[in-house]
Structure 1
């Protein structure tokens, strides 16, 4: 293994660690809310089970994601 192989291996390690940290940081922790933080509507039980830690109803979450992407 030469220095280029080690550099590629190290780059792959740091990239994987960075992506894992970003993914973990973007996931809410704890129990899901029963009502949406944005609009106040009830969050359906199916959504709360499917997305633990959710804080928004489906409509508000979709809007927030579109806004974040600049759409």
Structure 2
């Protein structure tokens, strides 16, 4: 397939790089160590079962869901360029 200035396999390299970036970002957000007893946002008590299930937990379920929604809204940005621009 003719790819213009792109080398052979450039699209797959882009996909691989995007996946690697997402994995690095997710791993960097994992908490370690003891979790909190009370949510750092709203001061609600974090249940013991959640503290055992999620090492280093800092937020209650409600605050964690709100944070996840905010992160998801901002995660659609591809800093490496759009697929269309690479295929032209």
Normalising TM by the smaller chain, what interval? 0.5 to 0.7
Matched, 1:39 2:32: no
Encode CA deviations 1:2-34: one digit per residue, 9 max, x unaligned. Answer: x413x3443343223212111112222322111
Matched, 1:18 2:18: no
Instruction: Name the counterpart of 2:67.
Output: 64
Instruction: Name the counterpart of 2:81.
Output: none
Count of residue pairs the alignment pairs up: 66
Instruction: Name the counterpart of 2:80.
Output: none
Q: Which has the higher helix share?
A: 1
TM-score normalized by the length of structure 2: 0.57
Higher relative contact order (CA 8 A, sep 6+): 2
TM-score normalized by the length of structure 1: 0.67
Question: Structure 2 CA distance, aligned partners of 1:33 and 1:27?
Answer: 15
